[in-house]
Chain A
């Protein structure tokens, strides 16, 4: 009972936050009914995917303060599990997704257990190493298509196929992902008020104090890492069905790992809305800059230059992210 109450209880936020969140929710629900281009639709799906990735990263990186730059390996595990199972044995998404989550979480225990003895920089760059090893293995492993990757051909199935998640129109993908998105928000809302959430915030502030209060620091970190992994792996499975063509390079590369961390940091790590704000700013910015400057003006790379300048400005000027600016303004108002 307490759990259910905590899950749906947003009352510790100011009313204005909830009104904005409600407005955004209504917009998201109504978005496919408004007139939109297919480009806007795919940008919206990207936005939902990356805000889910960011939410997952936020549990360990934001609340726990453990900078993890290897999340892409779990995107890869989720995506490859779903794709391999669908192509080879025709197993539907709703079965392969939980299996993918189990595999990813199992792998996260294997590497998380030794890795969480490290702190700070050492942890961050060790997670990069594991991700690179896995990517190189997948690039040479013929069973999963090596460097060419796997392709799910939609011709074999009869869209709309709700079991295998093969659709012709993006609108189905959008609503399914929106469902995951809402479940994700509710879960994080529960998580931040749970025992583990409080333990993590204590660990972030001071690990030794946490240990002296009787928190099993190592176990708490490994558990949260598994939670973050599960989030990322679910979206990875979805990615396989949505993109239908997965390669090690665009599911498991370092760039993806860092993008995931970027969403949460730019929006504001360690807050419920942070990753969503980050993804809402960065993803449309990235795809529209590419569309306007990269494609029409013919200047290759200028979109990423502007994008990189924004990343540099935020990380040098306001490392707490957009949510940090909002909170600072609020504190000033209160005074």
Chain B
């Protein structure tokens, strides 16, 4: 029972963290229909920003969040005006490969500047602390803080999208860029804003994740794929969908834990011999594939 409960809690916590990683991707996809392969690279940049600012200034890693958000926002806007704007004129294949080129560029720039070794954060008020809730459930403080910030970020983005004029303009651009242009909405600036918000949130996610995950220039692709799966599951362009899909994917990554639980509960020999941990992310990709085949617009999708 302990394993089951701790697996569920760990899965939900990780799910909230993964959801905030996917938030930016779903905003960018929703507003301008572009699949961003470089998404994980922005996460990596956020992680390095958080790590290096915390190490250079000696302040607590959590206080670097606004700085990471600013870096992400500016970088996103810069990427839009410098590069993505030109991609949008081309066919879909050029958009896919163009963002792949951006991914290679950012990853190797990071490799050139920071070197290839893993780096981790060793100080901060949250690092190394945890709450023991009994029943085998242990909540690491870093993950708990990240999950809490994720909820706040989702609430903020939802409020922005649904309660402000800018959000209305963003949603109008997402529905039909041409009609929005006729209504006097500066769609170009809305696209740039979407890139800014998207990259800003993912950099916040990076600065949170670096508290419990070591960073290297190659970390991006794994998160990009997981974020794709979450966005596909939740529906392309849907903000609440991304949150719930994040929880689902978090639980899916805990399948090895559930497997152990059933192995011990029913005492089945053959189940103990399956190397479940090596399939950890395969279930995520499988869920992603199945949802694409069965319901391509996702669980909460509103865009056809």
Contact = CB atoms under 8 A, between A and B. Distances in A.
A299 B292 CA distance: 41
A106 interface: no
A334 B87 CA distance: 29
A149 to B, nearest CB: 15
B184 interface: no
Contacts, number: 134
B83 to A, nearest CB: 6
A319 B91 contact: yes
Contacts of B228: 125, 128-129
Contact of A307 (B104, B115, B281, B293): B104
B108 interface: yes
A90 to B, nearest CB: 29
Given A301-B108, A311-B98, A312-B101, A269 B282 contact: no
Contact of B112 (A121, A265, A301, A307): A301
B293 A300 contact: no
A319 B91 CA distance: 7
A137 interface: yes
A124 to B, nearest CB: 6
Interface string A297-309: 0011110110111
B96 A133 contact: no
Interface string A91-135: 000000000000000000000001101101110111011101100
Interface stretch (B9-17, B61-69, B171-179, B283-291): B283-291
A122 B33 CA distance: 11
A194 interface: no
A134 to B, nearest CB: 9
Interface in B96-139: 96-98, 100-105, 107-109, 111-112, 115-116
A316 interface: yes
Q: Which of A124, A302, A312, A317 has the most CB of B within 10 A?
A: A312
A129 B35 CA distance: 14
A136 B116 CA distance: 24
Contacts of A114: 293
Contact of B92 (A121, A128, A310): A121
A133 B107 CA distance: 24
B278 interface: yes
B221 interface: yes
Contact of B282 (A136, A309, A312, A316): A136
Contacts of B221: 254
Nearest to B277: A140
B285 A132 contact: yes
Interface string A218-260: 0000000000000000000000000000000000001000100
Contacts of B105: 305, 308-309, 312
A308 B108 contact: yes
Given A132-B225, A140-B275, A302-B112, A265 B97 contact: yes
A69 B35 CA distance: 13
Interface of A: 61, 67, 69, 114-115, 117-118, 120-122, 124-126, 128-130, 132-133, 136-137, 139-140, 146, 254, 258, 261-262, 265, 269, 299-302, 304-305, 307-312, 315-317, 319
In order of increasing CB-CB distance, the 5 nearest A-B pairs are A311-B101, A319-B90, A319-B94, A315-B98, A301-B108
20 contacts: A61-B93, A67-B96, A118-B292, A121-B92, A125-B35, A125-B292, A132-B225, A132-B285, A133-B285, A136-B278, A265-B93, A301-B112, A305-B112, A308-B101, A308-B103, A308-B104, A308-B108, A312-B83, A315-B97, A319-B90
